[in-house]
Amino acid sequence: MQVLKLLLLTVLLCILLHTASVSSSESEKDGGFCTAEKSTDSDTGSSSSCGCKASRSNLKSNEKEAMDASDEDVTIETEEKDADEGDIISKNDDAAFDPENFPRTNQMLFIKGGTFSMGTDEPVFPADGEMPSRKVTVDSFYMDEYEVSNAEFKRFVDETKYKTEAEKFGNSFVMDLYVSEETKSKITQMVAAAPWWLPVDGADWRHPEGPDSSLLDRMDHPVLHVSWNDATDYCTWAGKRLPTEAEFEYACRGGKEDRLFPWGNSLTPKGEHWMNIWQGEFPSSNTEEDGYGTTAPVS
């Protein structure tokens, strides 16, 4: 049951992150990972930009740091590219990827509440259960501008010593196209309904494709292998909460009605890729025409 549960949560997170990537190209109200209620912070006499009742008293200062850091160049030590695989993994697990080297990505945007058409009468995949289209009203809220990066998640783990459910279970599901042959050779089980998701021992947020993978050059990519429980605990630490499905969809739509994407209905406006999805034959071949085979940087 734990394996099945993790599979479902992994798929759910991929969908959420994918949707967030869609919206991050152009929308000012793009999706994120955490959200917070609109508040005037009257208790503190201040008005933080996120408005949330932060459990971390330094949230406001952190956000200022984020704004200050946003103009700084991101520096990744390139010499690590020359290290051998084992060395890379050990460095990855240590302080070599100090999140202080990365700009904060916990900025929030205010999204004014309203009524919108949620779902669709013309679903691409009816099994997703997104039909019919119905009117839904949401209150104003704040939402993270970016998905939670590996660097941001590492701050949480470093501070709380948190263990994700994938780490506790000892495995998670990975797309077979991105699993090494050595790792594949150790897999003895598959899920008949989705054989491209392989249960990989040792796959977790630090090792997205299994024990022989690392976060090298991906600290600014969205964290993976995070369950709903993990995400909820992260948000609590950050003084926020997860968005509801309605809030998330409302934000991702960017104020548009009856549009497939925040910018309109064209998959590739001006012949350009404005979002990171799969190109090629799913699930056997990804041509990566949009520049990314898996995740893309969150900002």
Q: Whole-number minimum distance, CB 279 to Ca ion, in Å?
A: 6
Task: Give SS3 for 276.
Answer: coil
| 292 touches Ca ion by CB under 5 A | yes
Is residue 290 at the binding interface for Ca ion, with CB under 5 A as the rule?
Answer: yes
Q: Which two tokens stand for residue 64?
A: 């200022």
Which token pair is 241? 């909460």
**What stretch of H or E contains 21?**
helix 2-23
Expressed in angstroms, the distance from the first to the final Cα of the chain is: 35
- Written as one letter, the residue type at 90 is S
Q: Give the span between the Cα atoms of 145 and 105, in whole angstroms.
A: 8
Least distance to Ca ion from the beta carbon of 291, Å?
A: 7
Q: Within 131-160, which residues bind Ca ion (CB under 5 A)?
A: none
Shortest separation between residue 292's beta carbon and Ca ion, angstroms: 4
Judged by beta carbon, residue 191 or residue 260, the one nearer Ca ion is 260
Using CB under 5 A as the binding criterion, the count of chain residues that bind Ca ion stands at: 3
Q: Which is nearer to Ca ion, 55 or 282 (CB)?
A: 282
Nearer to Ca ion by Cβ, of 107 and 286: the residue is: 286
Q: Which is nearer to Ca ion, 92 or 276 (CB)?
A: 276
**Closer to Ca ion by Cβ: residue 250 or 274:** 274
Closest alpha carbon to 3 in 247, 283, 151, 191:
191
**In terms of Cα–Cα distance, which of 9, 78, 28 is closest to 253?**
28
222 binds Ca ion (CB under 5 A): no
Q: Least distance to Ca ion from the beta carbon of 70, Å?
A: 25
Are 176 and 152 in contact, with CB atoms under 8 Å apart?
A: no
CB burial string 233-251: b at 16+ within 10 A, e below:
bbbebbbbbbbeeebbbbb
Cβ of residue 275: shortest distance to Ca ion, in angstroms? 8
In the stretch 59-98, what mask flags binding to Ca ion with x, by CB under 5 A? ----------------------------------------
* Length of the chain counted residue by residue: 299
Residues in a beta bridge with 149: 222
Residues within window 249-288 making contact with Ca ion, judged by CB under 5 A: 276
Q: At its nearest, how many Å lie between Ca ion and the CB of residue 177?
A: 12
Quick one: 103 or 262, whose CB is closer to Ca ion?
Answer: 262
Report the distance separating Cα 179 and Cα 75, nearest Å. 28
Residues lying near Ca ion in the complex (CB under 5 A) are found at 276, 290, 292
